[in-house]
A and B are shown apart, each in its own frame.
Chain A
């Protein structure tokens, strides 16, 4: 069974707007990661945030983590049509294996 729930399930915005996706999880984690999946392709790692971090930036991406609420958010600023994809949060609950538990994903459509 999956650890996380993502919200919203689907999001449609115009190019240039910001997109925010939320993820909640159930158990204690070592770190939380976000992945992108383009239609028919494998997943691409975007960003990792450790359990002792609260915010992290990478280019147009900003991730926050609230371990007290067991939740995370991914913000994509100044979105582009090429950002159209499904986005998944994944939690690592053990540092010994790297096993990831994925959420259900948010499908983002960015209209040009």
Chain B
């Protein structure tokens, strides 16, 4: 079946522009996560949704970052007034939480470059 998809795969933005990154999770997956991965680093948690509810946004680096999942399926991560330090790969993952088992299925990521 289809995995997690993300679009666009690559995005170049000028500093100060707003960007929107899309994630299509695996159908039926309740949980959706966003991570930010800087070059040469491990992914860092940004935010988590259970269905349409955003239950944890503790990882969002500033109020310029906003995420939504209005119908409990597709999610959008929006970054306003992009800065150079926002350049990174943004990964989306989804999972069907079981009994203490949370294997996450990752999308290919969106590579954001802010110039």
Contacts and interface: CB of A to CB of B under 8 A. Distances in A.
Interface of A: 1-2, 4, 30-31, 33, 35, 41-45, 48, 50, 88, 90, 92, 95, 97-105
28 contacts: A2-B44, A4-B42, A31-B102, A33-B103, A35-B106, A42-B106, A43-B91, A43-B93, A43-B104, A44-B106, A88-B42, A88-B43, A92-B102, A95-B100, A95-B102, A97-B48, A97-B55, A98-B33, A98-B48, A98-B97, A99-B56, A100-B35, A100-B104, A101-B45, A102-B35, A102-B42, A102-B43, A102-B44
Nearest to B92: A42
A98 B102 contact: yes
Interface in B19-48: 31, 33, 35, 41-45, 48
Contact of B107 (A4, A30, A42, A88): A42
B102 to A, nearest CB: 3
Contacts of B4: 42
A79 B97 CA distance: 32
B42 A97 contact: no
Nearest to A94: B56
Q: Which 8 A-B pairs have CB atoms at the shortest separation, nearest pair first? A: A98-B102, A102-B42, A42-B106, A43-B106, A42-B108, A45-B103, A102-B43, A105-B42
B95 interface: yes
A81 to B, nearest CB: 22
B55 A104 contact: no
Contacts of A100: 33, 35, 43, 45, 102, 104
A48 B97 CA distance: 14
Contacts of B103: 33, 45, 48
